[in-house]
Amino acid sequence: MTDASQRNKANLQLLYDRVMNGHDVDAADDLITPDRPDHDRTFPPEFTRGRDGFKTLFRMFIGSPLPSTMPILANSPAMD
């Protein structure tokens, strides 16, 4: 694995740990470039434009009741 690949992998792990799991959306300022591209066409443009779009999207997720429903989904027969 190249140095750049290792750095990217470590950065992605920090993103998961701090933003997604730690609910510190502002940590994205240290981990994502301001002009971050996102080509996911399933989200509206306000969620895919740069770092601010990412932060808007994750503020919505973190503020939603979705995390409390995850254990129910994980234990459903469809997940077997």
pLDDT in tens, 30-53: 999 888 888 788 888 888 888 999
Phi, psi (rounded to 5 degrees) for 74: -65, -25
Given a cut of 60, whether residue 71 has pLDDT beyond it is no
- Quick check: pTM over 0.85? no
Region 1-20: what's the mean pLDDT? 90
CA angle 29, 35, 36 (to 5 degrees): 75
